Chains A and B, each alone.
Chain A
Amino acid sequence: MQPIVKIQSLSKVYQGGQQALKAIDLDINEGEILALLGPNGAGKTTLISIICGIVSGSSGSISVAGHDIVSDYRVTRGLIGLVPQELTLGAFDTVWNTVNFSRGLFGKKPNPAYLEQLLKDLSLWDKRDSELRALSGGMKRRVLIAKALSHEPRILFLDEPTAGVDVELRQDMWRLVRRMNDSGVTIILTTHYIEEAEEIADRVGIINGGELLLVDDKHRLMRKLGKKVLQIELKHSIDELPAALADYNLEATEDGRHLVYTYDTDRERTGITALLQTLNELGLSLKDIKTSQSSLEEIFVKLVSSR
């Protein structure tokens, strides 16, 4: 399938000489939720801003739904909605006016019924006549989302959507993101919170220092880079590891009650069956078994520090 956004060797050097992006290649598939993960200053916002037309790229090309973002900008920008990182809103407009303004700006005919439903979905309908400056930070964030969705975009960019957002709004937002996604909208969000990427994304891209280190399916990424750990709790403690277990990647804890087995889920054979059999043969009785997996956070730290 043709990717909905295709980025080819995109670089950006700002006027001061700062290289924000280094030859980024990225395909974004239609209908997916992609999380761009990276520390502050990694180039996430620059990448999004170029796709949306706010910043010009220095070299490389981007197409959206098969249209070039420079020569065919009217088509590509009409397909995109952007929720910016900063709470940038006018002061004296009302909520209702500002979403109508956004819709018109993107060339769509007025549609009060659609906007009414949108504001209701975002719990903004009661605030429709409020001036923007009178709203709380969380409400402003909702208004920005409403503005981005006002022209019914096919692709939604959320730049650090949960920065300074409370738990309730965060959950509301993820619900909305999932619902948008279910209706076919492609969603790209940036974050430096790993749990967020882990919670919501289908695929995760990791950016650091203007480079896209890797992009992969979230589960595959965790499988590929994540080691799994099997913790075995013994009924009776042992003084030292029996010789028969020396071949396994196994460690005993200091108190002799736990054995920790590290294995790779990606391998053909994990060795778990054999290990358990050996333990059985040795007459060691087990009290409990627990497995755990390295989180995206550990993967991320490993990737970033290895560069």
Chain B
Amino acid sequence: MINYQAIRVIYKYEMLRAWYTLLQTLAAPVISTSLYFVVFGAAIGSRIQEVEGVSYGVFIVPGLVMLSLLTQSIANASFGIFFPKFTGTIYEVMSAPLSFFEIVVGYVGAAASKSLILGLVILLTANLFVDLHIAHPLIMLLFLVLTCISFALFGFIIGLWATNFEKLQLIPMLVITPLVFLGGSFYSVNMLPPAWQTVTLFNPVLYLISGFRWSFFEVADVSVGISLAMISLFLLVCLALVWWMFKTGYRLKQ
């Protein structure tokens, strides 16, 4: 039997928390994305002309959306579970008749919903700067949803693992940000020297951005099927990890 009421209240109050901090959760990413458009799209992009037959200002849109989506999914979900751990209010969740399933659906579902909304808002913002056409809207939406869920899960894992605020920031700052920047957010991999092209293939974020970009322009660094497979694989790995953490009570139960 599933505790639907618990999923409902966790989801509701996590969404409500975003509402209290609306400026931080929505306005900040939108403003920073707009800045990227001004700097990369307008100032530098006017000198670059076209990449793979797409004007540079338009070319960077999928990468920019992914950049925000990844960082915000992780930040939302990691903070959502870390904060109750930090204040001690997690005792209530631990003593409630819940399985890991309800806890994950509630917290990760809310974090993923928030970043999905954010992604759509950024797309709308981008539309103000450039003329955007989406070749495969459904596949684009699929990539958005899968990315939000898997990286919210990943953030949830970080939030469970972190024992202080420093650790909470560590992986997003030291791992995720470099991977996103080197994953082709602002360029096509074909623009790199051949040796670096090979190195880039080991960056999982490349597959995400490439597949997502394909849904817009039908231009990709790797085939879209591989992209989908990679994101699904990442999702499964994160799920397995969360399941293991709850099974063993890792960092939750003594």
Contacts and interface: CB of A to CB of B under 8 A. Distances in A.
Interface of A: 14-15, 52-56, 73-75, 77-78, 80, 82, 84, 86, 88-93, 97, 100-109, 147
A65 B103 CA distance: 25
The range of chain B's interface size is: 20 to 34
B97 A88 contact: no
A105 B89 contact: no
A21 to B, nearest CB: 12
B254 A55 contact: yes
A107 B254 contact: no
Nearest to A157: B95
Contacts of A107: 3-6, 96-97
Contact of A92 (B17, B84, B99, B254): B17
Interface stretch (B7-15, B64-72, B180-188, B224-232): B7-15
B94 interface: yes
Given A77-B97, A92-B17, A107-B5, 19 more contacts: A14-B254, A53-B95, A54-B91, A54-B253, A55-B254, A56-B249, A73-B97, A78-B97, A82-B92, A88-B89, A90-B84, A90-B89, A97-B16, A104-B5, A104-B8, A105-B6, A107-B3, A107-B97, A147-B92
Contact of B254 (A15, A102, A104): A15
B191 interface: no
A14 B254 CA distance: 7
A132 B167 CA distance: 27
A54 B97 contact: no
Contact of B95 (A15, A82, A103): A82
A103 B10 CA distance: 11
Most buried by A among B95, B253, B254: B95
B9 A100 contact: yes
A108 B5 contact: yes
30 contacts: A14-B254, A52-B94, A52-B95, A54-B91, A54-B95, A54-B253, A55-B253, A56-B253, A74-B1, A74-B3, A75-B97, A77-B95, A78-B97, A80-B95, A82-B95, A86-B88, A88-B88, A88-B91, A91-B87, A92-B17, A93-B13, A101-B13, A102-B92, A105-B93, A105-B98, A106-B5, A106-B6, A107-B4, A107-B97, A108-B5
